[in-house]
Amino acid sequence: MNDLLTMGDVSHRSGHAPSALRYYERVGLIEATRTTGNQRRYHRSVLRRLAFIRAARHVGLSLEDVRDALATLPAGRTPTRQDWTRLSRSWRSRLDEQISALMALRDGLDSCIGCGCLSLQRCRLSNPGDRAAGAGPGAVYLPRLLRDPVGEEV
């Protein structure tokens, strides 16, 4: 079995668009070799890395966080289950923080839209005197984890 896959094969099997694969290669998340015709070829193990990238993005990690995490994997061999387990355990505290932030958001939605004013600027309960304006732009009452950008992806 040939361990090198074409971009089309990797795109089809991973669900990532070819443009995302090129971008991930450009920013150092994955690697490809080139044929004599300058076509990309990927080692089969790139599928695991792409699954990791997708899972990491779903839990809110930035591409920079993903790159840092992937840099801890061993070079020269396909990462083992133990390697992936070690890596994913480092997410536990972040996931716990996200879960707490999402629960706070969920629990606060009733009071935010329950009175009918639908305006934090005018709301006498959540924002008397528009004090939130002094805290800066954006949704300042959201937990920090939910209002900080997580990075851009192609």
**What confidence tens digit (pLDDT) does each residue in 17-72 have?**
999 999 999 999 999 999 999 999 999 989 988 988 998 888 888 889 888 888 88
Query: What are the extents of the domains in the chain?
Result: 4-109, 111-149
**What does DSSP assign to residue 62?**
-
Give strand pairing partners of 33.
41
User: What CATH fold (topology level) applies to the domain 4-109?
Assistant: Multidrug-efflux Transporter Regulator; Chain: A; Domain 2 (1.10.1660)
- Measured distance between the N- and C-terminal CA atoms of the chain, rounded to whole angstroms: 31
Residues 99-121 have a mean pLDDT of 67
